[in-house]
Structure 1
Amino acid sequence: MNRKRNLAVSLTAAALAAALVYGVYELQLRQIDLQETVRVVVPVRFIPAGERLTEKELGWKAIAKASFEPGMLRSMDQAAGMETAIPIGEGEPILDWKLDRFRLLPNRDELTFQIPKAYVLSVSSGIRAGDRVMLYVSGEGAVSERLFDAPVTVASVKTSANLEIDDPQNSNLLSMASGNRERMYASRRDANGTIDVVNLNLTEEQWLRIDGLVKDGKAKLVVAFSPESPLSGRTGGNGS
């Protein structure tokens, strides 16, 4: 009986010792990780919301590996040419969600297409550059349908005088980037003209589908404000 008890005690002691050694090993690994650093992209000066970044505004900062967060940029190519959605402080690691959210340039799979006026049946009168819109086709000679599952980005909306539609005293885009919903609403209410030209960021396939459906004039495009846009929960009228 004593032999069995001694054996059990020995095995327990060995297991505890092994657990202790493993715990010390894990602690040492964590200490090594804490001492390691990674380079992330940071602004070399304060960047206000709505500003397009260039390489001259960007630099590098070494941070502890343990402080690295998913979404921090580690390549300047990921930031150069993008617009800031919110202000970013000097030396602050740039997170991907702080860029590209309101970018008006098409992505690598898209082009910016001006939608011919003859193609358009109606446009939601409150849309502005940076909004997301849903596209529908309607007409006597076609079955009304939604064209694409996902909304597309508005690159710009202009008057017949080729002026960007906005409130000159209260830029909608900057208010959008700053997350100021009240100013966004005010800028849309006090806009400086009627929509005459709409430019959309589309893939080539999307444009060819639109062109194929409406170029004969039997069907036309309906451009509707999407709830995926930053200013949601409001109703908008239609206008040409």
Structure 2
Amino acid sequence: MRKWFSVILGLLLIFGCGFGFVQYMKSYQLDVTTMETVKPVRLIQAGELITSDMLKIVSIPTVQHMDNAITEQQKIEGKRAIVPIGETEEFLSWKIGEDTLYPTADETYIGFKVDIVGAVNNMVRRGDKVEVWVEYTEPKLLDESGNIIDPDLLALTNDVAIKTLAGMKKIYNELLIPDLTVAYVKDQEGKEIIDLIPTNNLGIPLSSWQRDQENMERYRQNASAQPAYITFIISESDYAKFAEGQKEGVIKLGLPGNSESIGTIIPSESTKAEDVKN
């Protein structure tokens, strides 16, 4: 009886040691191969101000960690997203920036009326950098050196006029401001236009990866309302270009990276009246 008792006790000791060793190795492996990092609770749109309720601490395999990812939550709060950041992504340093949606000493807020087409088919949002183009009512005439030709010169027939007109080039549109900051895009009631978080109509639970895929496919296709007003952070010199462009033609807005994303600023009533007089 003692013999069997000793055998059973020995087996239990061996099993216990083996089990303990396995658990220790698993714990060691977990400590070595995983780490804590910060990820979004949901898709963060470009231009959004990042707050604490948008962030969560998660454990990931160390091999999945990006070298330039920020792992300290306090270094992310208060920043603005430069590009969309999905649930499965870490906060890479180049994807976020300082909250700069306030005028500096030489800038100011200037607002305009805008419609759904003017806001690039309702794709422009707070924090975007847009291109400002002018589509001239009458083509601008340039000589070979790029200087503007006086339209009155067309009525002359002397040798100088003929030589100038020989190298004439017509410009139908022109980029006025390449990088203008959008401070606000609001609806008729003065509410900020935002992107609504899409819901799964089928009621099927989605993984973080699937939600990111679905959200990116619907990127800026689910606006909260139709735009009525747009406000820029603009310098005096850029506003002078903007105002001159309104006098000479139609102002167009573009979102860089998409050649089809072009919208039109609605002329003010005073501008329309002056155009009629002219």
TM class by smaller structure:
0.3 to 0.5
TM-score (norm 2): 0.42
Which entry has the higher C-alpha Rg, 1 or 2? 2
